[in-house]
Chain A
């Protein structure tokens, strides 16, 4: 059987050989990753080349990390330029927030895979909680949706503004136990997810000012298991 790798580079590289760098970076889909794994297992030359690629991969990361970060000047320049931009119409603002929310809702394949499983679990937990609450509150007596004469014809104005919500992306290595503990700490619950790996959290029983909510988001963003936290509707 002909080896998968091409020992003589005058020949065109094989498809598998060309996929090796993406395999090292973990960005292949499941099917291609499996094909590469199988080829690596049966072809020592290919495995040798893969070892070289892993070295390149590590050094490329080292090189880029050594480049440091930009100075505060860049940020100051940006926000000064934004301040100088003409005022936007409401519809434009909406588009911006919708656009930014939209592109936050995209993830790398690895994170997507993780989020999908966590999302399914979170939805099951939510379903369980909702079911338990419904069972607990269910009244044995028959009720219609029509007006009850025992209740006042006024709305409860104390309800006020809806509780604050945020879109949160958890770190790929976050465990369920960590997430549960975080939800407890912030008195938050997952009300939607995981669309593109983002979970919609609602902070229960808390009426927060704009500044308080911004502070809460900053605190949340600082959590080890949170990779992103932004305000949501």
Chain B
């Protein structure tokens, strides 16, 4: 278990933190996820990668935590924050840095969009693996990421960053 924890806890933490946006809650999630693994390892059938299994458990627990907190409106607040800060000189200077703006807009995506972007780009999950983790058909995985990217482009545009797509 120590080896398993050592190898995966950081990514599990980061995936959970991106979903729940609270470090304390994300840390609690890790304990819950690995305790579940400890209890259910015998049920793991090896059809998927261990990281895929862990991320699926993390997602389930993160969504349960979010439901408990009734904190879903955070998504809208974060999205609004992108547009509301346009007159801030500091933010105006940051706009020149596409990277900073991109990271800010990635944070402002909805939970559905954040998780799919992270799973594909950061956790390097295939279409099939994302479908397994999120529990949606493979075609939906592809279209959801496409529209997540489109939303990201809209947020960037609202923040004054044009990238030539779409």
Q: Which residues of A contact B (CB under 8 A)?
A: 9, 13, 15, 17-19, 21-22, 24-28, 48-49, 52-53, 55-57, 59-64, 66-67, 69-71, 73-75, 77-79, 81-82, 85, 92, 95-96, 98-100, 102-109, 221, 228, 230
Contacts and interface: CB of A to CB of B under 8 A. Distances in A.
12 contacts: A27-B124, A53-B149, A59-B102, A61-B121, A61-B122, A64-B18, A70-B27, A78-B5, A96-B41, A100-B1, A108-B49, A230-B3
A66 B1 CA distance: 26
Interface string B85-110: 00000000000001100110011000
Contacts of A69: 9-10, 13
A70 B30 contact: yes
B13 to A, nearest CB: 4
At the interface, is chain B mostly helix, strand, loop or mixed? helix
A218 B126 CA distance: 31
Given A55-B102, A85-B39, 9 more contacts: A27-B120, A52-B153, A53-B149, A57-B121, A60-B118, A63-B106, A70-B13, A79-B1, A82-B38
A78 B49 contact: no
Contacts of A71: 27
Most chain B CB neighbours (cut-off 10 Å) among A13, A27, A69, A74: A74
A107 to B, nearest CB: 7
A21 B9 contact: no
B127 A103 contact: no
B44 A60 contact: no
A57 B120 CA distance: 9
A99 B44 contact: yes
Interface string B19-61: 0000100111011001100110111111011101100000000
B27, B121, B166, most chain A CB atoms within 10 A: B121
A99 B99 contact: no
Given A59-B102, A82-B1, A106 B122 contact: no
B133 interface: no
Contacts, number: 149
B7 interface: yes
Given A75-B5, A75-B9, A99-B42, A64 B14 contact: yes
B159 interface: no
Contacts of B99: 55, 59, 62
Contact of A100 (B4, B9, B122): B4
Given A17-B146, A56-B121, A75-B9, A63 B103 contact: yes
Contact of A228 (B7, B53, B117, B127): B7
Query: For the complex, would chain A's binding face be called helix, strand, loop or mixed by DSSP majority?
Result: helix
Contacts of A9: 150, 166
A13 B146 contact: yes
A112 B150 CA distance: 32
Contacts of A48: 164-165
Interface string B146-160: 100110110000000
Contact of A56 (B14, B18, B152): B152
Given A9-B166, A21-B145, A55 B98 contact: yes
Contact of A106 (B50, B145, B163): B50
Contacts of B1: 79, 82, 100
A182 to B, nearest CB: 19
A227 to B, nearest CB: 8
B117 A60 contact: yes
A106 B13 CA distance: 21
A103 B44 contact: yes
B146 A18 contact: yes
Contact of B9 (A18, A74, A82, A98): A74
